[in-house]
Amino acid sequence: MLSVRDTDKTFAAGWPIAAAVPVIYHGKYIEKGPIMYDVNPLAYALRVGSLGTENAPFVTDRVTGMMTTYAQVWQQAEQVAGVLVSLGVAPGDRVAVQVPKSVAAIPLYLGTVLCGAVHLPLNTGYTATEIDYFLTDARPRVFVCCPANLAALGPVAAKAGVDTVLTLDADGGGTLADALQQATPIAQAVPRAADDLAAILYTSGTTGRSKGAMLTHDNLASNAASLRDLWRFTADDVLIHALPLFHTHGLFVAINVTLMAGGALLLHRAFDAGAVLDDFAHATALMGVPTFYTRLLDLPGLNRDAARHMRLFISGSAPMLTETHHLWHDRTGHWVLERYGMTETSMSTSNPYAGLRKPGTVGLPLPGVDLRVVDDAAAPVPLGAVGGVEVRGPNLFAGYWQMPDKTAEDMRPDGWFKTGDLGQLDRDGYLTIVGRSKDLIISGGYNIYPKEVETLIDALAGVAESAAFGLPDPDLGEVVAVAVVLAPGADLDADAIRAGVADDLARFKLPRHVYFLPALPRNTMGKVQKAQLRAQFAPS
Ligand code: MCA
Ligand code: AMP
């Protein structure tokens, strides 16, 4: 069942494939040419947002200034789908991508969905060792990487059994582009059901092994439709896009919401606060992690006048300090709209668009999302008390890829998902995230599981044991620190520790601070006391 929660749109059910059909859109009849998306829930939900306005701008590359219309992006997506099908990609096959951010990466995502395959984006910071794990675990049919990484990653992909490796660079060049020249665009979307997979996004695991969160067509379509309505995105919106395209935030929240609204994107290849501020004059909305906002606040040019064209500033992926909320309001006259989500759940809560946005809270559950705060026995805690945040609803993922035990650990039999976040509800129903029961560091919106760092450091010759933990950082919120106990007689310094793990760990996970201790603080049960380490090394 397709549950795109549109209230003001009615579409002719069961359209004939590739036939001209009348579409009722916002109460108006629009004669459409070949419509062949309705068998594929996510592609359909994303495509209908621009019906009738195909020549409107969809995305402008902020480096080249080149604009791509809706018609062009969907045509490119159909070509990508044609290439993938010709390579033998079948429904449910994974297409893994580790590509620099570019306009071309968007039709790669859309084309994968169109041909019924599963989009699997990977952080561009991952090393060959990390990519090896993901490709071996997910067994994609096709892997697309940056041409500069082909020599290193080609053999990794071959070892993992990947059939075809293609390349795509930041300007849209590479062997994928060559294949598109020859491609016959797919003639009709490959049929999929609402609970079929559309994407797998890896999220780090407490044991140090990353888990692939399986996201269905309905998960993504329903969440984006909710957010579009809640945040009032329309075809008049121009979103400044400066987030990476390999996480829920930059990919599904930003891209899907804009597509569904028929709005436009200004695509920055990386976050540069000055360039983003320059765009305020031409845009209406920004989605960012708190680091975006603190860096923008450092610019003297940020003021009410600069922000007068903007209607909405959204923050998430990491906690925004109450102080940042107030500073932003003082400087721009806007309250940042903070929301809360997770790879496994997409977005679960949001502060309201029109109602009170309470700084320090992440707002109210999205329509259709159930949220509760419970104790260890799954009983709701009294109002205002702290407990584990649990979520249930159409946003909830289908489980971890080939890890039924992990899925069962986090999912209660009656469908509630344990987020691992600690929160409290106020009497108006607003949620505040007060901490995490999971051992996780969030640095600039990227998640780092200490166990992964510790396992690699512990394996270094001369290290007896280590404990990784987060320390507050004014720019990134938290940064990785590690306490290391050396083996007797060993002589390693901080640089040697970092160099020892650099080949295996993306650079954003490398410890910024390394402390050497004679022993790790432990409680009577033998558990390392990370709170004590955080207190001991907290910046004064
Ligand atoms: C880059 N570096 C980092 C980070 N980013 N180190 C720690 N934490 C980081 N987040 C390191 C690089 O490895 C490099 O190290 C050096 O910093 C400079 O890299 P550069 O790329 O120039 O960094 P930057 O441009 O300053 O990037 C900071 C950033 C970026 C803009 C905050 O990290 C970013 O875009 N974060 C957003 C992440 C995101 O989208 N999260 C959503 C996931 P070296 O010099 O050693 O090489 S969470 C999600 O999707 C859930 C569902 C949700 O709720 O949204
Ligand atoms: P990820 O695993 O990358 O999807 O990150 C999800 C985690 O980010 C959540 O479980 C929270 O711990 C954190 N998070 C996301 N949004 C917020 C927010 N607005 N405030 C506090 N934490 C957040």
Q: Which ligand 2 atom lies nearest to the CA of residue 201?
A: 4
At position 26, the amino acid (one-letter code) is H
Q: Residues lining ligand 1, judged by CB closer than 6 Å?
A: 125, 243-244, 247-250, 270-271, 289, 291, 316-317, 341-343, 443-446, 476, 507-508
| pLDDT attached to residue 31 | 44
Ligand 2 proximity of 410 Cβ (cutoff 6 Å): no
- DSSP 3-state of 29: strand
* Residue carrying structure tokens 């797919």: 186
204 lines ligand 2 (CB under 6 A): no
Best mutation site among 257, 268, 289, 480 for ligand 1, i.e. most ligand atoms within 8 A of its Cβ? 289
With a pLDDT cut of 90, the percent of the chain lying above it is: 87
- Is residue 14 pLDDT above 90, yes or no? no
pTM tops 0.75, yes or no? yes
pLDDT of residue 187: 80
Does residue 510 register a pLDDT over 70? yes
Distance, CA of 507 to CA of 59 (rounded, Å): 30
CA of 462 to the centre of ligand 1 (A): 31
How many helices, marked H, and strands, marked E, lie in the chain? 16, 26
Q: What is the CATH topology of the domain spanning 271-436?
A: Rossmann fold (3.40.50)
Which of the residue ranges 27-36, 62-71, 97-106, 260-269 would you say has the lowest mean pLDDT?
Answer: 27-36
**One fold for 9-225 and 441-537:** no
For the chain, what percent of residues have pLDDT higher than 70?
A: 93
- Helix (H) or strand (E) holding 310, with range, is none
The alpha carbon of 339 and the centre of ligand 2 are apart by a number of angstroms equal to: 9
Domain boundaries, the chain: 9-225, 271-436, 441-537
- Answer yes or no: is pLDDT of 81 > 90: yes
**What average pLDDT score do residues 64-81 get?**
95
| Distance between Cα 292 and ligand 1 center (Å) | 10
Residue 446 is predicted with a pLDDT of 95
Residue 458 to residues 129, 450, 479, Cα–Cα distance (Å): 17, 12, 20
Q: Which residue, by CA, sits nearest to atom 5 of ligand 2? A: 342
pLDDT at 3 over 80: no
Cβ of 203 below 6 Å from ligand 2: yes
Residue 35 binned pLDDT confidence (cut-offs 50, 70, 90): low
How many angstroms does the Cα of residue 84 sit away from the middle of ligand 2?
Answer: 33
* Ligand 1 probe mutation, 243, 446, 471, 501, most atoms within 8 A of CB: 446
| Pocket flag, ligand 2, residue 438 (CB < 6 Å) | no
The Cα–Cα gap between 380 and 390 comes to: 10
Q: What pLDDT does 71 receive?
A: 92
Probe ligand 2: pick from 291, 342, 351, 395, max atoms within 8 Å of CB? 342
| pLDDT at position 350 | 98
- C-alpha 531/C-alpha 130 separation (Å) is 29
Q: How far is the CA of 440 from the centre of ligand 2 (A)?
A: 10
The CATH class that applies to domain 9-225 reads: alpha beta
pLDDT at 274: 98
Show the CA angle centred on residue 371, arms to residues 370 and 377, nearest 5°. 120
Which pLDDT tens digit goes with each residue over 458-505? 999 999 999 999 999 999 999 999 999 999 999 999 999 999 999 999
Q: Which ligand is nearest to the CA of 206?
A: 2
Of 237, 259, 234, nearest to 69 (Cα)?
A: 259
Banded pLDDT at 50 (limits 50, 70, 90): confident
State the pLDDT at residue 205.
Answer: 72
> What CATH number labels 441-537?
3.30.300.30
- The response to whether residue 342 sits with its C-beta less than 6 Å from ligand 2 reads yes
What does the pLDDT look like over 408-438, one tens digit per residue?
999 999 999 999 999 999 999 999 999 988 8
| pLDDT score at 16 | 31
The rounded Å distance from CA 318 to ligand 1 centre is 12
Ligand of minimum distance to the alpha carbon of 421: 2
> Tokens 């509800």 identify what position?
425
Q: How far is the CA of 340 from the centre of ligand 2 (A)?
A: 6
Residue 279's Cα: distance from chain center in Å?
A: 23
